[in-house]
Structure 1
Amino acid sequence: MTDFDPDPRAALDRLLTERGIDYAQLSARIGRNPAYIQQYIKRGSPRRLAEEDRARIAAYLGVSEALLGGPALRVATAARSRAADMVLVPKLAIGASAGAGAIAEGEPVEGQVAFDPKWLRDLGADPRALSIIRVEGDSMAPTLSDGDDIMVDGGDAAARLRDGIYVLRIDDGLMVKRVARAPGQGRVSVISDNPQYPTYPDLPLTSVRLIGRVVWTGRRVR
């Protein structure tokens, strides 16, 4: 998108057209009903995107929140910094539970972390769909610990499903778990690495909403 459009609805509509993303797809991406984005763009309802929806859309599309009607100084974008030629990945103020599950509602972007673009390419990550969140709980220990930061590739989810660690939703709970294909078409296992926590060995994929694959983790030295 080369030109700035002062109307956030028109700007979002243009972005989606350019990238081949339909309204229902984006609505599902942010956990809304299928008609939500179409109603916002075409009917003006709601009048403004909720702050958490705007942050998630900006992070997913790799654009500034200002483009979508947000504050001009608050950037939620996986975009290049011209000075350092780095990729700035938004750090979201939400936690994915590695325990019993957590609800992620109304959480803003709290900052950005710069990464070398070549390093991200070597990870196989899509800079346009990256975000960083923290782990809450110890059900994925020792692989992931409470308080760890994890980088989530939102472009690597159900369509490319393979065995790995994912951020996912089950019954509105946002959590991080190991996911593996189970016997039978459209079946998966959702696994806690910590044996003290439950594992779900055979679930229909339709009952699990994969948010993105975990491609990197960082933690404090304790």
Structure 2
Amino acid sequence: MKPPAEPRAALRALAAAQGVSLLALSAMIGRNGNYLQQWVTRGSPRRLAEADRRRLADFFGVAETVLGGEAAPRSVWRVPRLDVAAAAGAGRVNDEAALLGFDAVPVELARALGLSEGQAAVIRVAGDSMAPGLCDGDRLLVDQTARTPDAKGGVYAVRIDGLLLVKRVRRGARRLLVTSDNPGALPVGRGEVEVVGRAVWQMRVPV
């Protein structure tokens, strides 16, 4: 039986389902016999004491949030991992960014990087035109809200002529300037540049 969302109604339903009285539950948590009855019918006290709520939640095998506890703050965000290879080389066509799964990004890290939840994605680097800083197979955490490079620039995921690339991008006098870090890389195409987002964190599998 799924208990109602309201905590007092939830306790009443849980007690009925288990065939145990509020009187007996009050005694179990070391309170006077009317304690839980008053809470259920009169709302007094307004909230169960933390220790009482924990013992009741353990007894019924439910989360403390069912009985009015606050949800524990999340330690990670689930960031979508997309099936696109952002080429740091000759480039690859990006037909559709298919969702492969999710990567767990620590909330503290995400906030330190200035990310907003739901506005980031993880993509994979292909090629070596951004070597030695970026290598083939590196994964990049991309802030999809950061799409306006300044004169100083940074590493961005961009589309040029239908190709998804990872390049260094800065704003010039008349247009965006897109370059590779590897001096031996092929020239970057001169098509229209669509900025997908800024790479704010690099993830690499140890070798």
Specify if TM > 0.5. yes
Identity %: 37
**Cα deviation digits, residues 107-135 of structure 1 (max 9, x gap):** 42111111221211111122221000100
Residues 1:134 and 2:124 are matched in the alignment: yes
Give the length in aligned residue pairs: 137
Aligned pair partner of 1:86 in 76, 86, 94: 76
Runs (5+) with no aligned partner, structure 1: 1-80
Relative to 1, partners in 2 of residues 1:127 and 1:161: Cα closer, same or farther, differing over 3 Å? farther
Q: Which shifted more, 112-121 or 81-90? A: 81-90
Letter in 2 for 1:164: G
TM-score between both structures, scaled by the size of structure 2: 0.60
Aligned pair partner of 1:216 in 186, 201, 205: 201
**CA positional deviation for 1:160:** 6.8
Tell me, in whole angstroms, the C-alpha distance in 2 between the residues paired with 1:126 and 1:116.
Answer: 13
Tell me, in whole angstroms, the C-alpha distance in 2 between the residues paired with 1:187 and 1:198.
Answer: 20
Asked if the contact 1:190–1:199 (Cα under 8 Å) also holds between the matched residues in 2, the reply is no
Aligned pair partner of 2:146 in 129, 141, 156: 156
Counterpart for residue 155 of structure 2: 165
Query: 1:31-180 maps to which residues of 2 (within 5 A)?
Result: 84-158=74-148, 163-180=153-170
Letter in 2 for 1:195: P
**Cα deviation digits, residues 64-104 of structure 1 (max 9, x gap):** xxxxxxxxxxxxxxxxx978442110101111000111111
Letter in 1 for 2:205: R
Letter in 2 for 1:213: R
Cα RMSD of the aligned pairs, angstroms, is 2.4
Asked if the contact 1:189–1:200 (Cα under 8 Å) also holds between the matched residues in 2, the reply is no
Tell me, in whole angstroms, the C-alpha distance in 1 between the residues paired with 2:171 and 2:187.
Answer: 13
TM-score between both structures, scaled by the size of structure 1: 0.56
Moved over 4 A (4+): 81-84, 159-162
**CA positional deviation for 1:220:** 1.1
Tell me, in whole angstroms, the C-alpha distance in 1 between the residues paired with 2:166 and 2:72.
Answer: 33
**CA positional deviation for 1:197:** 1.0
